[in-house]
Structure 1
Amino acid sequence: MFKSLSRFLLPLVMLCTATTAMAADTVIDNKDPYALVKAVANKTFDRFHQDKALIDADPDHLKIIVREELMPYIDYKYASYKVLGQYLKDSSEDQRNRFVTAFEGYLVSTYAQAFTEYTNQKVEFFPGVDFRNEKIVDVNVQIIEAGRPPIKLLFKARRLKDDSWKAFDLVAEGVSLLSSKQSEISNLIRQQGIDAVITMLDERTKDKITKPTKSGKLAS
Structure 2
Amino acid sequence: MRNWWLASAMWLFSGLAMAGMAPDQLVKKTADDVIEVIKSDKDIQAGNQQKIFTLAEEKILPNFDFEKVSRMVLGKNWTKATPEQKSAFQAEFKTLLLRTYATALSKYKNQTIEYKPFRMESDADSATVKTAIQQSGGDPISVDYTLSKKADDWKVYDIVIEGVSLVTNYRSQFAQEIRQNGLDSLNKKLAEKNKAATGK
TM-score class, shorter = 0.7 to 0.9
Cα gap change, 1:201 to 1:54, in 2 (>3 Å): same
Look up the SS of the partner of 1:88 in the other structure: helix
Cα gap change, 1:69 to 1:47, in 2 (>3 Å): farther
User: Structure 2 residue aligned with 1:116, among 101, 106, 112?
Assistant: 106
2:6 maps to amino acid: L
Matching residue of 1:28: 18
Matching residue of 1:91: 81
1:189 maps to amino acid: I
Alignment check: 8 A CA contact 1:78 1:168 kept: yes
Post-superposition CA distance 1:29-86 (Å, at most 9, x none): 4441111112222223333344423774842211111112222111111111101011
Structure 2 unaligned spans of 5+: none
Cα gap change, 1:201 to 1:71, in 2 (>3 Å): same
Q: Does 1:205 align with 2:184?
A: no
CA distance in 1, matches of 2:45, 2:138: 29
1:171 maps to amino acid: V
Aligned residues: CA RMSD: 2.6
Matching residue of 1:8: 4
Cα drift, residue 97 of structure 1: 1.6
Q: Does 1:102 align with 2:92?
A: yes
Look up the SS of the partner of 2:113 in the other structure: strand
- The aligned length equals 198
Q: Does 1:81 align with 2:68?
A: no
Structure 1 unaligned spans of 5+: 18-23, 210-220
Matching residue of 2:181: 192
Look up the SS of the partner of 1:60 in the other structure: helix
Matching residue of 1:21: none
Identity %: 27
Matching residue of 1:170: 159
User: Structure 1 residue aligned with 2:123, among 109, 129, 133?
Assistant: 133
Post-superposition CA distance 1:154-205 (Å, at most 9, x none): 0111111x12111111111112111111011011111121112112222333
Post-superposition CA distance 1:121-151 (Å, at most 9, x none): 1211123213422122111001112332221
Cα drift, residue 106 of structure 1: 1.0
Cα gap change, 1:81 to 1:15, in 2 (>3 Å): closer
CA distance in 1, matches of 2:98, 2:32: 18
Deviates more, 1:42-51 or 1:91-100: 42-51
Alignment check: 8 A CA contact 1:16 1:45 kept: no
- TM score, norm. by length of structure 1: 0.79
Look up the SS of the partner of 2:117 in the other structure: coil
Cα gap change, 1:71 to 1:50, in 2 (>3 Å): farther
Look up the SS of the partner of 1:89 in the other structure: helix
Alignment check: 8 A CA contact 1:140 1:153 kept: yes
- TM score, norm. by length of structure 2: 0.86
Larger relative helix fraction: 2
The runs of at least 4 consecutive aligned structure 1 residues that moved more than 4 Å come to 14-17
